[in-house]
Structure 1
Amino acid sequence: MTTLVLGGTGKTGRRVIDRLTALGRPVRSGSRSSTPAFDWADLDGWPAALQGAESVYVTYYPDLAVPGSGQDIRALTELAAESGVRRMVLLSGRGEPEAQACERIVQESGLEWTVVRCAWFMQNFSEGYLLDAIQAGVIALPAGEVAEPFVDADDIADVAVAALTEDGHAGRVYELTGPRLLTFADAAADLSAALGRTVEYAPVKPEEFAAGAAEAGVPQDEIEMLKALFAEVLDGRNAYVADGVREALGRPARDFTAFARDWAQGMRGPRIR
């Protein structure tokens, strides 16, 4: 009955692990630092990670949108089926053709599958390099004035755990968003109100974004991936709200204002005021 969580140290993976553990479900983290280790670049290590797993939550690093992701997803699903895995939940990307190609691979795998399709996490603001930008008071991104229905990573984890542990989710594609569209300027305004200090959004050119990200210590390969995603996905194609959270859980998705308020209230010490 063990569930393997790939990307177990990531934004959604660690939340999935926490929920499965709270339910008393045997769970195994799949990451480069776990034992046995799981590394997308080391196929030889995959069998040990999959051994004895009945279900798998799949997050792909660095992103399903990158070239070569389909080959890895196909190899993983084939090995999972051979290893006795019965159920697979794939975290996919909205508006990404490569991600949808990976979805089809999972759907044709013979496993009980569920696709959880998302885009920009609310926690991208509170976890990761954007936190430094918020501390500095300026979020500089090449996103223009495009609106995005930011989704809470906790909602994603709740849907993933339901699909991993309950019947009735097999064969479903859940498209998860928050309940409303916000521009990045709108998000900055909500963060400002919650934190009690000004946070501005500054639209920049991709080259300016890359230089700032490099200065903040973001690895170059991740910078190039982010630039590509900004150029491809933040063109308005995802500027609509979906109802996947309600479809999966019977409750509404969490709003960005509530996320910003709760995050601000949970901060400790003088780090952000």
Structure 2
Amino acid sequence: MKNNILVLGGTGKTGRRIVQKLNDKGHNVRIGSRSESPAFDWDKPETWGNVLEGMEKVYITFQPDLAVPGALEAIEGLVKEAKRKGVQKLVLLSGKGEREAELCEQVVINSGLDHTIVRASWFNQNFSESFFLEPIQSGFVALPQADVKVPYVDADDIADVAVEALIGDQHNGNIYELTGPRFLTFREIINEIGQEADREIAFTAIALPAYTKMLKEHGVPEDYVWLINYLFTEVLGNEANQVITHDIEKVLGRKPKDFSAYVKETAVTGVWNQPVGV
């Protein structure tokens, strides 16, 4: 049976992958984005109703993160509007170990709608599609918490789980926690990327205050600086993120993608060998 599915953040890391996979399966997909028509803008609640019109299921990813101030109110407003428009199911992308994100989860869980919560560890794609890319391209990466181990998860795996959650009723009411198959430190990651990309990438550990100061000097918006500070202090090293789960295997019947496979696939694109900003 084909569904009418809204993918909020449908041009982002997980969203665009979900859109492609749902289209391949023949579902009717609407992308929720400021650049689409009708447009969706988290900062303009008046845009939400038109985008939700006629949709049966909704994938929700909030930018920049469910932990930021204002996210809870936005999720509350969206869920209320979704119910008013007759949406039947919500799939929320959340973060592992984020207390603020769990408050947003509760809004979805208590909505009275069918729902699935997908909690993801840090993404592999943070190193090729997000804020860690430019330092890698420049050949010099300085990060706090250099030796904290994280089970990075691949965006393709997250998208596959989200698609199954959207189209399969057996996932209703479940919370899935997604991780990769092994722990890695920033130091190990940069070394592996450098080897596969066949280039020198220097890595140095840096104190968090110095790192946030550097971000501000490079013109990074204040809300992103706040988020990065939060992620490094409250999320990266906490106990919830020091666990490898098997939920990807449970949902998909296969093992999650290893970081090395992601590095090999990404190196072929040449993104790590491009000049900064290209």
Q: Please tell me the TM-score bracket, short chain as reference.
A: over 0.9
Measure how far apart 1:149 and its partner are. Answer: 0.4
- 1:153 maps to a residue whose letter is A
Q: Distance in 2 between matches of 1:143 and 1:86?
A: 42
Contact 1:140 1:204 in 2 (8 A): yes
Q: What whole-Å deviation, never above 9, does each CA across 1:30-86 have from its counterpart, x for those lacking one?
A: 111111111111111110010000000000112111122222112211211121111
Aligned residue in 2 for 1:247 = 250
Residue 60 (structure 1) aligns with: 62
CA distance in 2, matches of 1:58, 1:181: 27
Q: 1:63 to 1:269 in 2, by over 3 A?
A: closer
How many residues get paired?
A: 272
What SS class does the counterpart of residue 8 from structure 1 fall into?
Answer: coil
Query: Tell me, what secondary structure is at the counterpart of 1:259?
Result: helix
1:205-241 deviation digits (Å, cap 9, x = unpaired): 2232223334544323212211121111122321221
Amino acid at match of 1:22: D
Are the equivalent residues in 2 in contact too, given 1:147–1:236 (CA < 8 A)? no
**CA distance in 1: counterparts of 2:237 and 2:188, whole angstroms:** 17
1:96-175 correspondence runs (5 A): 96-175=98-177
CA deviation map 1:168-218 (0-9, x unaligned): 111111100000011111111211221112323322122322233345443
Could you tell me how far 1:143 is from its partner in structure 2? Answer: 2.2
Task: State the distance in 1 between where 2:229 and 2:65 align.
Answer: 13
Structure 1 segments of 4 or more deviating over 3 A? 214-217
The structural deviation recorded for 1:18 is: 1.1
Moved more, 216-225 or 95-104: 216-225
Residue equivalent to 1:218: 220
Report matched runs for 1:1-150 at 5 Å: 1-150=3-152
> Which residue of 264, 269, 278 corresponds with 1:266?
269
User: What is the rounded CA distance, in whole Å, between the counterparts of 1:88 and 1:94 in structure 2?
Assistant: 18
- The answer to whether the Cα contact below 8 Å between 1:89 and 1:164 also exists between their aligned partners in 2 is yes
User: What is the aligned-residue identity percentage?
Assistant: 45
The code of the aligned residue for 1:32 comes to: R
TM-aligned CA distance change 1:50 to 1:144, over 3 Å: same
**Alpha-carbon displacement from aligned partner over 1:10-33 (angstroms, at most 9, x marks no partner):** 111111111111111111111111
Give the C-alpha shift of residue 159 in structure 1. 0.5
Does residue 257 (structure 1) correspond to residue 257 (structure 2)? The answer is no
Scaled by the length of structure 2, the TM-score of the pair is 0.93
8 Å contact 1:129–1:216 — kept in the other structure? no
Which residue matches 1:185?
187
**Displacement, 1:124?**
0.4
Letter in 1 for 2:151: P
Q: CA RMSD in A?
A: 1.7
Larger CA deviation: 196-205 vs 238-247? 196-205
Whole-angstrom distance in 2 between the partners of 1:97 and 1:128? 23
Contact kept in structure 2, 1:95 and 1:233, CA below 8 Å: yes
* Unmatched runs of 5 consecutive residues or more in structure 1: none
State the alpha-carbon separation in 2 of the partners of residues 113 and 236 from structure 1.
Answer: 26
Q: How does the TM-score come out when normalised to structure 1?
A: 0.94
Whichever residue aligns with residue 236 of structure 1, its letter is N
C-alpha separation in 1, matches of 2:202 and 2:247:
30
